[in-house]
Structure 1
Amino acid sequence: MADLDKSKIQAVAQYIDEVSKQFSTGKATEHSYRPALAKLLGYLLPKFTITNEPSRIQCGAPDYIIAKGKGATSIPVAFVEAKDIGDRDLDGNRQHKEQFNRYKNSLDHILFTDYLDFHLYENSEFINSIRIAEIRGNKIAVLDANIPMFLEMVAHLAESMPQKITSSTKLAQMMAAKARLLAEVIEKTLETDSEKTGELAGQWKSFQKVLIHDLTERQFADIYAQTICYGMFAARLHDDTPDTFSREEAAALIPKTNPFLRKVFQNVAAFDVDTSIAWIVDDLAETFRVTDMLKVMKNFGKATGQADPMIHFYEDFLRYYDPKQKKACGVYYTPEPVVHFIVNAVDEILKSSFNLSDGLADTSKVTVRQTSNLYTDNRTKDHKKYETREYHKVQILDPATGTGTFLAEVVRKIYSGMENQKGAWQNYVEEHLLPRLNGFEFMMAPYAVAHLKLDMVLAQTGYRAKQDKRLRIFLTNSLEECDHDTGTLFAQWLAQEASEANLVKRDTPVMVMIGNPPYSVSSSNKSAWIQELSETYKKNLNERNIQPLSDDYIKFIRLGHYYVEKNGEGILAYISNNSFIDGIIHRQMRKALMETFDEIYILDLHGNYRKQETALDGGKDENVFDIMQGVSINIFVKKKQGVILY
């Protein structure tokens, strides 16, 4: 036996001797043995960094990180979770089931140990177990025959690498598992910060102030985890040198067309990452490093048969991450035929009802007189200062843009009409398309996906950005009034995003409102602004229960109603819950819509499970979504004259 092997065997014997001394006192806990195991692993793996930080462990991380290399460039390759000596649940079948399953599913290589018995799992599968010592009375005795097998297990860990990922399903599962673990660590970090003075707590408060006022710790943890996952996903899609991929490199690779995601990712996951989560962010980066993105995206499109794999990839991710959240947030992709129909209908109406021969591709402009400042003259009443500004006439807004499906279809529609003018396309996008496409989304992951989708769709048309001009998709709550003073926030990148979204809310003359707003009768959108607007639909109703009029879909219709009315003309084109068509309590809503809009087109798609309707041929009445509530396509047109009801 080589002298090196002898020294390693001796190191294990010394480790057991130290553990035995602690155990024999009768006062030792699982924490008492940690330094001894860290010392042993450090000796057996001299080219690796062994990390054991109590502050990190309190936040739900495994007890030890085994990272290849030294310093900032080290890469996590394995993890160790330790329990007290004599703990017989090292396979996680009883009291540790939830925790162990979480680690098995999210970490490629992990050892579970009671300091004497070591159980190795790789990619969720049990590999082997080795017991190197046993309890004899009040002492620990080494099992010499098992030491060589233990050394082989540790040597195997030193050679561990993440599994190569070529499947979109596998990537979605791995991203979701790591995001769940990351969210739990973040939530526990916030809980342990009782004074709420840490970096994470400051960011949570910033999100509450600017974006979601009733945001809980768990909801923030979800946003944060999904931000990191999709920020890294976006970066990896743009990486030409995957062998060197890291969280630091990811921060530089996120497209500059999304400055907010770029800044927020740099803040939360790269240069100023909170120490409690750095280990899992690095582990996630390693997963992306070994992912063949070309195969993942190529195979995914073939597997689904869908033209838009990005949406379905996000749906897969959310299904694995939290299927309940998917349902609660109304995250259901709009079927492509529906999106295609609505976009084509808007294009046709712009041509026929507004005499815009180019429809959605129109480049005409309008001059708008706006309030630029409000000041007070001490001698007189308040005065408004006005300025004029030029905008493109056909400004388009999807107020619940989700993954950007409708805006992407608008791009495709316009491009299809300009295929014979490809030489003009580059300048057209810069000067006449990007300034007109607006989207609002308040969930972080779909917001990131929407940016990715628009980037990809534009690239497919041959467009190449000449400058780092952002896409006009903003992280904001559409149902809240623009905040005239975002203030000085802990996170300035969030304030900047809010400010730019406010410019659209306050100043942009939106002519086309388009999309698939969420449906939720138990709406959590209760800002005074949208509730006051919604009173228009509740006026003089003498009904016992008008709660359904507070459904999110009705608030979004009222929002579109407001924008078009404010603009003086325009189109509201949604697919939505269809209960407003004939509901008794919706009569004021119908009246208000008829008073404002000149043309009303409604295509009732039915599909209400509770009504038990049947198709015209007597067959099953199926919904275009996997929901119980019926839906309809609604197109409301406001011109300058007359009322025509269809």
Structure 2
Amino acid sequence: MLKNYLKNLNEAYQRGDAREESYYEHLANLIKQYAENKNINKIDVTILPKKTEAGNPDFRVWDGKNHITGYIEAKAPSVSNLDYIETTEQLQRYLSTFPNVILTNFYEFRLYRNGEMIAQATIGRPFIAQKLKAIPPLENIQEFENLLEIFFSFSLPKVQNAHSLAVELAKRTRFLRDEVISVEIEEKEKTEGHKALIGFYDAFKKYLIGTLTKKQFADLYSQTITYGLFAARIRAQADNNDFSRKIAFDYIPHTIGILRDIFRFISFEELPKSLAVIVDDIAEILHYADVKNILHQYYKSGRGSDPIVHFYETFLENYDPEVRERRGVYYTPESVVRYIVRSVHELLKIRFGLPDGLASYDVKLLDPAGGTLTFPAEAIRKAAEEYINKYGEGALSRWIKNHILENFYAFELMMAPYAIGHLKIGLILEELGYKMSEDERFKYYLTNTLEMEEIGMTNIPGLSSLSEESHLAKEVKEKQPILVIIGNPPYSGISANINKWTEHLLKDDIDGCQSYYKVDDKPLGEKNPKWLQDDYVKFLRFAQWKIQKSGFGIVGMITNHSYLDNPTFRGMRQSLMKTFDEIYILNLHGNSLKKETAPDGSKDENVFDIRQGVAIIIMVKLSQ
């Protein structure tokens, strides 16, 4: 086996073709022959396309269906210094993403497990073929066979908790974003695979996020694939089914049209091979994930840790901390969420004459920065608790159908939390004994809360859901009266949301809400009022505007606390005081930028892992 391999390498070299691709088929045949000799069934060695020095490794070794053994990165036989190759950015990306990798120059083989070299074997000296024009003597046969035995023995460990799963998925999603999708959509060749990806990019840019760049699309699309697979895996696990990219579509809810559009392509179309490889790898991680145990944590945690939320935050930390910071995405502590929801619940009873609080059919609730739906989830729990205590569980399903699924809304711009938020609400309702039918959904819409322009109907096949989602969201933004607005809006001093409507919203008197840029009917007069462009200010303004339009209601949010005493915000403070009858503020401090300290002089801890101080604000506008 090995003698023939070295002979074939020598013949290829003597033909004068020194390109590494010239040796690919010989290595692929060697791997297949070894597997056959060892009775390792169903092994396929796929040579992967590589558009750039990034992209995928050169070979994938798998069973041709679901199980991936590992990857092989090959360099030309003339590359003798694999120590140097080991340090390159390209190989480090592979080693940090894929747990079972062989690096070779066709004569020397190095096996890496989770980034660490664990075996090495040199079966011949390439300089003998290159300088002496002869077949190198065969050596280190046992070491080579041991290396391949270890390579083929690899099996992905079953992931036992949400944290570990988030880390593994983050590595692969980052690779998918940077090395695959970014490259594919930049390609000038218009193969069917490229056309499909570019079509998705054009549709998202035209019909959802007008300022979307190709880099941002690669980020959005990569996360969509991963979280769509995650949601599909949990549904497949409930049916005790195996899992792969090919069957994921069957487990995407019919009512989440955008995800189904994307997975129609992922599951059924002929993907660019570079894309198929990494998506299959993500699917296999999920196939071996102990999702039952992760769900068990979720169901049994009660008031404890929410692994769905921790999963998302851990994912972002490992995937791209800059995305998290840019979007101002931080997990809201459960104690803060419960405090805000409980306060709103009691105020509905006391100030609005609704004895059932959040459980009342009169309550229309919106979270304009939904994230993983932490706030709506807690509101559902509180409302269900109230309903069950008063009316029992006999009509609970009807109440969920006619109240929760009809009157609770949320918006989100980022696709990852959108997918996982839908999953979370489905789990909560199942915990309450309600399983949504195929034609039901929670009214959680993929939209930019701070963008009012409606998307027109798309003529791109299979993507009508984008315009449908936009239309449904705009109906809520403009026409649906809302009684309760809760949430944790993003904090971003350098706002990513600057458009004509937000400028109008902040700077003009709108529907009876005084502009934030004037005080006592006079211009604010600030030389640099840039802090009024912070996203949290815009979300508070949006909430103020919605309640003003409704005529009465409650806003409960946790935000940056700079608006409480900074002179730049005096117009904002006056505007809020004019709109609302009661304003309750709980300043949680924690501002390390101001070097705030606790009353005893100790460090003032922030409830978030950020330096900016925060405050809870609850505002009540009573009906006139």
Instruction: Answer whether TM exceeds 0.5 for this pair.
Output: yes
Q: Deviations over 1:573-622 (max 9, x none)?
A: 21111111222121211222222222222222222223223333443322
| Cα pair distance change 1:157/1:624, threshold 3 Å | closer
The CA distance in 2 between the partners of 1:168 and 1:465, in whole Å, is 24
Does 1:122 pair with 2:113? Answer: yes
Q: What SS does the aligned partner of 1:422 have?
A: coil
Q: Distance in 2 between matches of 1:129 and 1:270?
A: 40
Alignment of 1:31-430 (within 5 A): 31-45=21-35, 47-54=42-49, 60-69=55-64, 73=65, 75-90=67-82, 95-96=87-88, 98-134=89-125, 135-136=127-128, 137-139=131-133, 141-154=135-148, 156-184=150-178, 185-193=180-188, 198-238=195-235, 239-240=237-238, 244-256=242-254, 258-271=256-269, 273-298=271-296, 306-364=304-362, 394-420=363-389, 421-430=392-401
The 3 A distance-change label for structure 1 pair 307 and 39 is closer
Distance in 2 between residues matched to 1:82 and 1:301, nearest whole Å: 46
Q: Does 1:542 align with 2:525?
A: yes
Residue 485 of structure 1 aligns to a residue whose secondary structure is coil
Are residues 633 and 63 of structure 1, via their aligned partners in 2, closer, same or farther at CA, if it must alter by over 3 Å? same
Q: Indicate if the aligned counterparts of 2:563 and 2:573 stay in contact, CA closer than 8 A.
A: yes
In structure 2, which of residues 568, 573, 576 is the aligned counterpart of residue 590 of structure 1? 573
Find the aligned partners of 2:270 and 2:498 in 1 and give their Cα distance. Answer: 34
Contact 1:227 1:265 (C-alpha < 8 Å) held by counterparts: no
- CA distance change for structure 1 residues 155 and 242 in 2, over 3 Å: closer, same or farther? farther
Identity %, equivalent residues: 39
- What displacement does 1:159 show? 4.6
How far does residue 548 in structure 1 lie from its aligned partner after superposition?
0.8
CA distance in 1, matches of 2:400, 2:174: 38
User: 2-side partners of 1:187 and 1:140: how far apart?
Assistant: 44
**Cα shift at 1:105:** 2.7
Give the alignment's TM-score, normalised by structure 1.
0.86
Aligned 8 A contact 2:590 2:613 in 1: yes
Distance in 1, matches of 2:394 and 2:257, equals: 28
- Taking the TM superposition and a 5 Å limit, the aligned residue runs for 1:551-630 are 551-630=534-613
Between the aligned partners of 1:154 and 1:139, the Cα distance in structure 2 is 28
Does the CA contact (< 8 Å) of 1:242 and 1:290 recur in 2?
no
* Correspondence for 2:511: none
Correspondence for 1:522: 494
Q: Give the residue type in structure 2 aligned to 1:292.
A: D
Structure 1 residue runs of 5 or longer lacking an equivalent are: 1-8, 365-393, 642-646
Report the CA distance shift for 1:163/1:502 in structure 2 as closer, same or farther (over 3 A).
same
Aligned residues: 598
Q: Which amino acid aligns with 2:475?
A: L
User: Aligned letter for 1:214?
Assistant: T
Counterpart residue number, 1:381: none
SS at match of 2:393: helix
- SS of the counterpart of 2:197? helix
Are the structure 2 counterparts of residues 172 and 568 from structure 1 closer, same or farther at C-alpha, using a change threshold of 3 Å? Answer: same
Residue 333 of structure 1: SS of its match in structure 2?
coil
In 2, distance between residues paired with 1:53 and 1:605?
54
Gaps of 5+ in 2: 37-41, 508-514
SS at match of 1:331: coil
Any conservation in 1 of the 2:487–2:557 contact (CA below 8 Å)?
Answer: yes
Query: What is the alpha-carbon root mean square deviation over aligned residues?
Result: 2.6
Q: Which segment is superposed worse, 195-204 or 340-349?
A: 195-204
Query: In the TM superposition, what whole-angstrom CA distance separates every residue of 1:409-457 from its partner, at most 9, and x where no partner exists?
Result: 0011011112341111111000112111111111111111211211111
CA deviation string 1:255-313 (max 9, x = no partner): 44534323323334554544331111112222222222223444689999933121111
Aligned equivalent of 2:20, options 21, 30, 49? 30
User: What is the CA deviation profile of residues 152-211 of structure 1, one whole-angstrom value per residue up to 9, with x for unaligned ones?
Assistant: 544554454322322433322211111111112111112223779621122112111222
Residue 428 of structure 1 aligns to a residue whose secondary structure is: helix
| Equivalent residue number for residue 409 of structure 2 | 438
Asked if 1 retains the 8 angstrom alpha-carbon contact of 2:74 and 2:103, the reply is yes
Indicate the SS of the match to 2:498.
Answer: coil
Aligned equivalent of 2:4: 14
Once the two structures are superposed, residues 527-575 of structure 1 have per-residue CA deviations (whole angstroms, 9 ceiling, x without a partner) of 2111111112114121211111111111111111111112122112211
Q: Residues 206-235 of structure 1: CA distance to partner in whole angstroms, max 9, x if unpaired?
A: 111222222222221121221121111112
Shift of 1:60: 0.2
Note the C-alpha offset of 1:55.
5.3
| Aligned twin of 1:369 | none
Q: C-alpha separation between the residues in 1 aligned to 2:465 and 2:82?
A: 44
Cα deviation for residue 45 of structure 1 reads 4.0
Amino acid in the other structure paired with 1:31: E
Deviates more, 1:150-159 or 1:319-328: 150-159
Q: How many Å separate the matches in 2 of 1:446 and 1:108?
A: 27
Partner of 2:39: none
**8 Å Cα contact 1:400/1:515 also seen in 2:** yes
Q: Is the 8 A contact 1:247 1:281 kept in 2?
A: yes
Deviates more, 1:190-199 or 1:563-572: 190-199
1:229-251: CA deviations, max 9, x gaps? 11111122222466621112222
Is the Cα contact below 8 Å between 1:520 and 1:553 reproduced in 2?
Answer: yes
- The AA in structure 2 aligned to 1:293 is V
Question: Which amino acid is 2:620 matched to?
Answer: V
Distance 1:512 1:89 in 2: 65
